[in-house]
Chain A
Amino acid sequence: MSLSNHEVRCAVASMFDFKFGGAQRRLLYILPPLGFLALAALFWVGLGHDPGLIPSVLIDQPVPEFDLPPLKDDKPGLASADLTGEVSLVNVFASWCVPCRVEHPILMRLAERDDVAVFGLNYKDKPEDAKAWLAELGDPYGRIGADRDGRVGIDWGVYGVPETFVVGRDGRIRYKHVGPLTAEAVAERILPLVEELRR
């Protein structure tokens, strides 16, 4: 199909619409690059967005009802009632989880602080493996609940270990960190939030 002379001229004329006034014409020139920039900005933001991070629906909700048996004989288990009264971190970990090893030193350091309690939720782990793991690396937890079948983990919306929850004094979940804790995440988000929740 070939365009007639007239059609081509009309198309060109409407592209640079000569009937438009100056302001409208300028707008017509500015719009395409603006559109491009908006799209580029959207993609740029999208590039930094990790699709693996799913926002938790439990934020600002009370912790789920649960009561887990202890992992170790000399340390109590973990239940919903233990998460009220003071600000606490609930760290979901397992001995089979490699990134848990990465974040472990950070938890050891957090355990030394007296402004926040660090609790462990041992997720779908063999008790002997978990105990050996803690004996090797150190045990940062004040209480550890053994979630052998992972049901409590599901109630907490856990989908990948490690995950760390910040729970306020009122027993409501205020923040969830997915993946290994980093020094940066602790310094910039978790500790300021703990400070705020203590007030």
Chain B
Amino acid sequence: MRAAALALLLSVAGSAAWAVLPDEVLVDPALESRAREISKNLRCLVCQNQSIDDSDADLARDLRLLVRERLTAGDSDDQAIQFIVARYGDFVLLKPPFKPGTYALWFGPAVVLVLAGIGARLYFRRMARAPRTEAAPLSDDERRRLQAFAEREGEG
């Protein structure tokens, strides 16, 4: 009994953390879960690092309802997403789309890695080819100074 009460309390506490309000949730669980997935990938334009699924902003709620409305009307996931993108641009997508304008974004890190690899290869190759010169033997004068230094350190 106590465990059940605790479980109930925890489940209520958990749901309180959602931005999605009970009156927004669709009756059809399949549609609702599709709506949740779509919402998680759409940026809230008011608080830009949150998805509309996370955000309490008014506009986020309106967009959540709009996504649900599109799905209920029979849109595919892509169609519902495109509906929002047509109004707010690619910026609403939390994951940037793959197209010529974003190639620098997607390939940039790989290009930097390749360039760094080429640089490192050239560097190590040159290092390997550098002539290995033996250090010249100590002269008599150097030997005496070293001896004197060692003795001084030994006393102290």
User: Which residues from chain A sit less than 8 Å from chain B, CB to CB?
Assistant: 5-7, 10-11, 13-14, 17, 51-52, 54-58, 124, 149-151, 154-157, 159-160
Tell which of B62, B89, B127 touches A11, judged by Cβ atoms closer than 8 Å.
Answer: B127
Report the separation of the CA atoms of residues A7 and B127 in the bound assembly, to the nearest whole angstrom: 8
- The answer to whether B126 and A157 have CB atoms under 8 Å apart is no
Residue ID in chain A nearest B127 by CB atoms: A10
With A6-B132, A10-B127, A10-B130 known as contacts, the answer to whether A157 contacts B88 (CB < 8 A) is: yes
Residues of B within 8 A of A52 (CB): 48
Min CB gap A9→B, angstroms: 8
- The answer to whether A14 and B127 have CB atoms under 8 Å apart is yes
- The answer to whether A57 and B87 have CB atoms under 8 Å apart is yes
- Subset of 22 A-B contacts with CB under 8 Å: A5-B135, A6-B132, A6-B133, A14-B126, A14-B130, A17-B126, A54-B89, A54-B91, A55-B89, A55-B91, A57-B87, A57-B89, A124-B58, A150-B59, A150-B62, A151-B62, A154-B59, A154-B63, A155-B87, A156-B87, A157-B88, A157-B89
Report the separation of the CA atoms of residues A58 and B89 in the bound assembly, to the nearest whole angstrom: 9
Min CB gap A152→B, angstroms: 11
- The answer to whether B62 and A157 have CB atoms under 8 Å apart is no
Residue ID in chain B nearest A55 by CB atoms: B89
Residue ID in chain A nearest B61 by CB atoms: A150
- The answer to whether B130 and A54 have CB atoms under 8 Å apart is no
Residues of A within 8 A of B130 (CB): 10, 13-14
User: Which residues from chain B sit less than 8 Å from chain A, CB to CB?
Assistant: 45-46, 48, 58-59, 62-63, 66, 85-89, 91, 123, 126-127, 130, 132-133, 135
Residues of A within 8 A of B133 (CB): 6
Residues of A within 8 A of B59 (CB): 150, 154, 159
Residues of A within 8 A of B46 (CB): 159-160
Tell which of A14, A156, A157 touches B123, judged by Cβ atoms closer than 8 Å.
Answer: A14
Report the separation of the CA atoms of residues A57 and B101 in the bound assembly, to the nearest whole angstrom: 14
- The answer to whether B132 and A51 have CB atoms under 8 Å apart is no
Min CB gap A129→B, angstroms: 15
Residues of B within 8 A of A149 (CB): 62
Tell which of B87, B89, B135 touches A154, judged by Cβ atoms closer than 8 Å.
Answer: B87
3 closest A-B pairs by beta carbon, nearest first, are A159-B45, A57-B89, A157-B87
Residues of B within 8 A of A17 (CB): 126
